[in-house]
Amino acid sequence: MGMTMTQKILADHAGLESVTEGQLINAKLDLMLSNDITAPVAIRELEKAGVTSVFDANRVVFVNDHFVPNKDIKAAQQAKTVRDFANKHNVEAFYDTGTMGIEHCLLPEQGLAVPGDCIIGADSHTCTYGALGAFATGVGSTDLAFGIATGMAWFKVPSAIKINLTGELTGYASGKDLILHLIGMIGVDGARYKSLEFAGDNLSSLSMDDRLTIANMAIEAGAKNGIFPVDSVTRNYCEGRIKRPMQVFEADSDAVYEQTYTIDLGSLRPTVAFPHLPENTRTIDEIPAGSVEIQQSVIGSCTNGRLSDLRIAAQLMKGKKVAKNVRCIVFPGTQQIYLDALREGLIEIFIEAGAAVSTPTCGPCLGGHMGILAEGERAVSTTNRNFVGRMGHKDSEVYLASPAVAAASAVAGYIANPEEIGGEK
């Protein structure tokens, strides 16, 4: 019986010729990631266990990004715990205020996540790195602590769902619209503990930014991971960037998939997930103009804070103003993205339009800081979750959308079709 791409990576890292669905394995780790919320828990577990060294400081990454710049004393203490541990154990891949970015934007940019890797992170959106052809999944802080101490983690080998992609994206449709469409099709538990494996003869039409967005939200369908094949787009992205040799794994021709879905990229329209689940999707054509007024528009996050995201938002906002009574907040994903956007004039466009531009931070996505919603307020956001109270008050609402929809809505004052603001693309 053939293996899927995920199963091949897990077999290789477990030192086995093959693995099968449901098998329990111990696998070697290439990278272990944590942040200012989850790392302190892992650090305390290591100290309780009497661990005095890390397995390999070059395979550990800490990013202070959730409450950074620190919003209060507790956040400052959390960040200090990570900072002290990283310095004590000579963890070079430690990113703090001024050098940090939103972790799942930062690691690919810095070449830390490599095709063929087995990666764990104490953050559910660690599955982002599947865009590069790596097996990457979120774990709890205790499992992360074990990984830091031993360089190993245990897994139950997942079954897989194949997503066959045809055609090309058109107009304002993007990777965000594809993943929202898919979650709307199969539901938030449609891929529970399964691998979402993307395939198709025309995958090269999807940019790396699109793939990173899609893989990032695999967890929102309940998936263990999402993964893309390594192709010319992957290789071009990795060239001159990655720090270690890559390994390329391909699914066997007789690999077994529980289900196969085919999606025509050319048929996709800008899509919005209504409260309070990412599966509650509607296309922009199903939302009457002016029917959903907003008080906030958020453009950024680990899902859509990359340069291409800021470019499309700036294109739609150039020469226009954010609507009265709307707060538009832009969060570049990393310092480098911020700098590139500055050099391209994108930041100037946002500020002239009346938007606020923030240093990279996860803050508003989880209702942490710098964009918390009050009772009864609505936000359209390029983030990845819209659960009850996700971005603030339990009686606020979050509508998930692409940067194009978020930018158009900021200008219109309600959830708007980008074609209404920028014309047909």
Let me know if 5 is exposed, middle or buried by CB neighbors in 10 A (0-12, 13-18, 19+).
buried
How many other CB atoms sit within 10 Å of the CB of residue 398? 29
* Cα gap 193→406, rounded to integer Å: 31
Supply the pTM of this predicted model: 0.95
Task: Look at residue 52 in the predicted model and tell me its pLDDT.
Answer: 87
For every residue of 40-80, which 3-state class applies, written as one string?
HHHHHHHHHCCCCCCCCHHHEEEECCCCCCCCCHHHHHHHH
Task: Look at residue 322 in the predicted model and tell me its pLDDT.
Answer: 97
Q: Are 97 and 64 in contact (CB under 8 A)?
A: yes
Nearest to 177 by CA among 417, 355, 397: 417
Task: Look at residue 364 in the predicted model and tell me its pLDDT.
Answer: 86
Task: Look at residue 423 in the predicted model and tell me its pLDDT.
Answer: 72
Task: Look at residue 233 in the predicted model and tell me its pLDDT.
Answer: 96
Per-residue pLDDT reduced to its tens digit, 19-57: 999 999 999 999 999 999 999 999 999 999 888 889 999
Nearest to 75 by CA among 329, 335, 368, 330: 368
* Cα gap 153→147, rounded to integer Å: 6
Task: Look at residue 367 in the predicted model and tell me its pLDDT.
Answer: 83
The parts of the chain modelled with pLDDT lower than 50 are none
Task: Look at residue 425 in the predicted model and tell me its pLDDT.
Answer: 74
Only one residue has tokens 């938030």, namely 188
Task: Look at residue 357 in the predicted model and tell me its pLDDT.
Answer: 96
How many other CB atoms sit within 10 Å of the CB of residue 289? 12
Domains of the chain with CATH codes: 5-264 (3.30.499.10), 272-422 (3.30.499.10)
* Cα gap 158→299, rounded to integer Å: 33
Measured over the CA atoms of residue 355, residue 356, residue 358 and residue 362, the dihedral's sign is negative
| Pairing label, strands 296-300, 281-283 | unpaired
Query: What are the residues whose beta carbons fall under 8 Å from the beta carbon of 218, sequence distance 6 or more?
Result: 127, 130, 179, 191, 196, 225, 226
* Cα gap 169→52, rounded to integer Å: 51
Helix (H) / strand (E) containing 403: helix 403-412
* Cα gap 203→211, rounded to integer Å: 10
DSSP structural state of residue 373: B
* Cα gap 171→93, rounded to integer Å: 39
How many other CB atoms sit within 10 Å of the CB of residue 368? 19
Nearest to 93 by CA among 80, 111, 105: 111
* Cα gap 220→24, rounded to integer Å: 24
